[in-house]
Amino acid sequence: MTPEERLYGAIGSNPRGPVSWRVISQRQTIGQDERGNIVDGMQIFVETSDGVTFSVFVPMARYNVDEVKKIIQQRVDLISAVGGLHGSSTGG
């Protein structure tokens, strides 16, 4: 698992098809980068077309349109994949 996947979530697949998303707000704050250092960054709040809301922290060094889109899409893919999970219990 890459440092980015540990920080932002692994890429998953959505069995229900594509999910759209939009940024609903953002604020400047402090958080941790991939190495655990305290850094300035942006907390970005997102809503998906499935009605799920979440946030991601992006260090200022990585705060650009392309990187933010990539980070958000990875999280959306993971959330969609987890939302599509199913299973059964054998008891126990």
Domain extent listing, the chain: 3-13+20-81
With 60 as the cut, is the pLDDT of residue 5 above it?
Answer: no
Q: CA dist 67 to 70, 71, 87, 91, Å?
A: 5, 6, 34, 44
CA 4 vs. chain centroid, Å, equals: 10
What is the Cα–Cα distance from 79 to 41, expressed in whole angstroms? 23
CA distance 84 to 86: 7
- Residue 84's pLDDT is what? 75
Tens digit of each residue's pLDDT (9 = 90 or more) over 40-92: 999 999 999 889 999 999 999 999 999 999 999 999 999 988 887 777 767 65
pLDDT at 11 exceeding the cut of 50: no
pLDDT of residue 18: 74
What's residue 87's pLDDT?
A: 72
Taking the whole predicted model, whether its pTM rises above 0.95 is answered as no
Angle ∠(51,32,67) on CA atoms, nearest 5: 60
